[in-house]
């Protein structure tokens, strides 16, 4: 497999150096692997910190900036960052109003963020944590106890980030983040496996003519494998899986997320099918976001995330945001 890299061992620091060069509005600590908005800490504002393995870009470093995260901690590819990174990030963004950790439900992330929260508290930083566990594909899977954290992470970071930007206190930002997670569900599909720089070959075997329904963002197995389906058939299956668990009963935010190797031409066609299915189910779509936001390196495929949206969630979703990976209204 050909890759635009130097050597596998330097992929993450090389990418961080490139991020620093491209985004002077960020402070990128390549040595300690922490990405911070340059104006942090913002006086009177709750700090938002997230992180996880690299390979899911723009998650999380690409979501650092006004209206979203204050800092992110990238680990090695598909590997959790370490507690020292998280504590350093918390200290960099704490204005005295506390810090919220946004944690995807993967065992390494959960353990390390829990340890970091204890260490940060020892340093006098008030920390709250929210666990994102929106994936309805499986209850337990590789690297996870319970549902996996996937596309809803973007909804949590955007909506909680907007509330923090308005000056909401830590208790309110935490409660809102929890509520967004509780009313969000995701389901993903893989058409081809991804390739990690260290391995240099596909991370799992997916024969030609087959797809994986419910795949995880590290290539964890989903519900089943089937012969290749049309875009419309995949939309029917994915939306049914989400709505069986979510029961929206009102307007929703929709994220049609590319896994990293699927062109926008295909994602927009898939979005049309998802809208068709939601229309047939009587589910109004308030907002739609399409693109590669929570990726899995070069995996071909997509995921569908729905968030039940009330007036407050819609208002905070529409609030200005300016990050490398998401920006509007500013």
Residues 6+ apart with CB under 8 A from 183: 246, 307, 308
DSSP secondary-structure letter at 191? E
* Structure token digits, residue 268: 């927009």
Asked if 305 and 266 touch (Cβ cutoff 8 Å), the reply is: no
* Structure token digits, residue 162: 């907007």
d(CA 213, CA 226): 8
d(CA 197, CA 271): 30
Q: At what angle do helices 311-318 and 152-165 cross, to 10 degrees?
A: 80
d(CA 61, CA 93): 14
The active-site residue out of 23, 60, 66, 218 is 218
Asked if 266 and 273 touch (Cβ cutoff 8 Å), the reply is: no
Is-catalytic flag, 32? no
Instruction: Check residue 316 and give left, alpha or beta (phi > 0: left; psi -120 to 50: alpha).
Output: alpha
* Structure token digits, residue 25: 């509005």
Nearest 5°: the CA angle 191, 261, 213 is 25
Nearest 5°: the CA angle 281, 284, 288 is 115
The distance in angstroms from the start CA to the end CA of the chain is 40
The active-site residue out of 56, 60, 66, 275 is 56
- If residue 316 lies in a helix (H) or strand (E), which one and from where to where? helix 311-318
Is-catalytic flag, 66? no
Q: Any idea which residues carry the catalytic annotation?
A: 56, 218
């Amino acid at each position: 497999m050909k890759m635009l890299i130097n050597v596998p061992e330097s992929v993450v620091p090389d990418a961080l150096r490139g991020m620093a060069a491209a985004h002077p509005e960020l402070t990128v600590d390549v040595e300690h692997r922490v990405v911070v908005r340059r104006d942090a800490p913002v006086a009177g504002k709750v700090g938002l910190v997230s992180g996880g393995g690299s390979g899911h870009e723009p998650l999380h470093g690409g979501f650092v900036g006004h209206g979203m995260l204050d800092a992110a901690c990238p680990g090695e590819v598909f590997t959790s960052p370490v507690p020292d990174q998280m504590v350093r990030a918390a200290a960099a963004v704490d204005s005295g109003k506390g810090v919220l950790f946004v944690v995807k439900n993967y065992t390494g992330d959960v353990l390390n963020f829990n340890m970091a929260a204890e260490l940060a508290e020892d340093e006098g930083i008030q920390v709250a944590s929210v666990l994102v566990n929106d994936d309805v594909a499986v209850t337990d899977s590789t690297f996870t106890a319970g549902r996996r954290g996937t596309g809803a992470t973007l909804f949590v970071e955007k909506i909680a980030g907007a509330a923090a930007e308005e000056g909401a206190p830590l208790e309110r930002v935490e409660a809102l983040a929890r509520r967004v997670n509780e009313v969000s569900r995701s389901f993903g599909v893989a058409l081809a496996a991804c390739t990690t720089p260290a391995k240099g070959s596909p991370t799992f075997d997916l024969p030609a003519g087959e797809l994986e329904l419910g795949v995880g963002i590290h290539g964890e197995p989903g519900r089943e494998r089937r012969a290749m389906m049309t875009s419309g058939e995949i939309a029917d299956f994915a939306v049914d899986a989400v709505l069986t668990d979510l029961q929206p009963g009102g307007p929703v935010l929709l994220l049609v997320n590319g896994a990293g190797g699927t062109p926008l031409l295909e994602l927009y066609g898939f979005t049309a099918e998802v809208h068709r299915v939601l229309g047939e189910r009587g589910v109004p779509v308030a907002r739609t976001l399409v693109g590669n936001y929570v990726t899995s390196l070069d995996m071909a495929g997509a995921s569908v995330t729905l968030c039940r949206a009330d007036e407050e969630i819609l208002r905070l979703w529409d609030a200005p945001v300016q990050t490398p990976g998401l920006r509007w209204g500013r």
